[in-house]
């Protein structure tokens, strides 16, 4: 009821009671000059407002101001107040709850599989694991790298992409982050992620590369998520710099 009183209490003029405190301590007396006035279930302390009389007696100088009774109906009609309801909870059946749980588990499983696709891409390129890299793509997938690298279509085209990348770089180290997945259906999703890479030229110089991946993922007849399309947008490729990469210690 304390929340109901706060939300529905009217705004009185400033010359009336300006503050209110409640306590459950029993109060048995209520004299005209006292600052305490007992209620029915709680004791409410009001700062008393002056009535403007010139008499010096406490009973005429001070008079308590009390608020009108607050009812549940009045509070329910207040826009800022809503009574709790359990209708929707009872409308949901057990089968609906189980289906909702299955959908959530399915989405979490799919998100994990798609995250492994993005991680597998970096691992396949950086560690030269060609079989792993090719297993991430559908047979008719598109691998698009504007800016001179080329567009690679199908598994054989994607296999050729690793030959092209191998001619450009001696080694690469990719880190993918900010991976956001949007599901467009039970077996269709899109993804966007950012990538930062340290690429080593064949002469030993180092370049820094920043890019964004726009992906389309599909789960087809075999029930496995794979990449159907990846568009690589490179933001910058730094000039090759003589940075000595020390061996691990």
Residue range 144-170: mean pLDDT, rounded: 92
Strands 225-237 and 137-145, by their bridges, are parallel
CB atoms closer than 10 angstroms to residue 175: 11
Q: Computed from CA positions of residues 40, 43, 49, 54, in that sequence, does the dihedral angle turn out positive or negative? A: positive
- Which one has a higher pLDDT value, 229 or 24? 229
Q: Is-above-0.75 flag for pTM?
A: no
CB neighbour list of residue 166: distance below 8 Å, 6 or more residues apart: none
Q: How do residues 186-207 score in pLDDT, each as one tens digit?
A: 999 999 999 999 999 999 899 9
* pLDDT, mean of residues 146-151: 84
Q: How far does the chain reach from its first CA to its final CA, in angstroms?
A: 67
Domains and CATH numbers, the chain: 2-84 (no CATH), 96-237 (3.10.450.50)
Q: Pick from 175, 193, 191, 200: which is nearest to 233 by CA?
A: 193
Q: Which parts of the chain fold into alpha helices (H)?
A: 2-8, 58-61, 72-76, 87-91, 94-126, 130-134, 154-168
At 115, is the pLDDT very low, low, confident or very high (cuts 50, 70, 90)?
Answer: very high
pLDDT band at 240 (very low <50, low <70, confident <90, very high): confident
Instruction: Kindly report, residue by residue over 20-29, the tens digit of the pLDDT.
Output: 444 444 444 4
Confidence of residue 243 (pLDDT cuts 50, 70, 90): confident
Look over the chain and give the mean of its residue pLDDT values, rounded to a whole number: 75
Confidence of residue 93 (pLDDT cuts 50, 70, 90): low
Query: Above 80 in pLDDT, residue 7?
Result: no
Place of tokens 């299955």: 102
Position 149 pLDDT exceeds 70: yes
pLDDT for position 51: 46
pLDDT tens digits, residue range 51-88?
Answer: 444 444 444 444 555 555 555 555 555 554 454 544 44
Among 221, 223, 227, 219, residue whose Cα is nearest residue 142: 227
Torsion of CA 205, 199, 239, 196, to 10 degrees: -150
Rounded average pLDDT over 159-180: 94
């Amino acid at each position: 009821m304390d929340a109901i009183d706060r939300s529905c209490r009217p705004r009185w003029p400033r010359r009336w009671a300006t503050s209110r405190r409640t306590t459950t301590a029993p109060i048995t007396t209520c004299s005209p000059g006292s600052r305490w006035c007992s209620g029915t279930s709680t004791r409410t302390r009001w700062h008393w407002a002056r009535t403007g009389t010139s008499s010096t007696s406490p009973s005429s100088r001070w008079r308590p101001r009390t608020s009108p009774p607050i009812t549940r109906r009045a509070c329910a009609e207040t826009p800022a107040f809503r009574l709790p309801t359990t209708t929707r909870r009872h409308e949901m059946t057990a089968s609906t709850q189980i289906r909702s749980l299955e959908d959530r588990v399915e989405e979490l499983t799919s998100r994990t599989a798609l995250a492994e696709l993005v991680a597998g891409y970096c691992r396949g390129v950086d560690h030269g694991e060609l079989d792993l890299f090719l297993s991430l793509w559908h047979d008719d997938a598109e691998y698009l790298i504007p800016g001179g690298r080329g567009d690679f279509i199908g598994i054989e085209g994607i296999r050729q992409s690793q030959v092209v990348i191998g001619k450009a770089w001696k080694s690469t180290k990719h880190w993918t982050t900010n991976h956001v997945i949007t599901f467009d259906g039970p077996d269709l999703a899109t993804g966007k992620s950012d990538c930062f890479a340290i690429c080593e030229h064949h002469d030993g110089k180092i370049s820094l590369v920043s890019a964004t991946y726009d992906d389309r993922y599909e789960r087809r007849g075999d029930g496995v998520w794979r990449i159907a399309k990846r568009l690589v947008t490179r933001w910058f490729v730094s000039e090759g710099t003589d940075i000595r990469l020390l061996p691990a210690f």
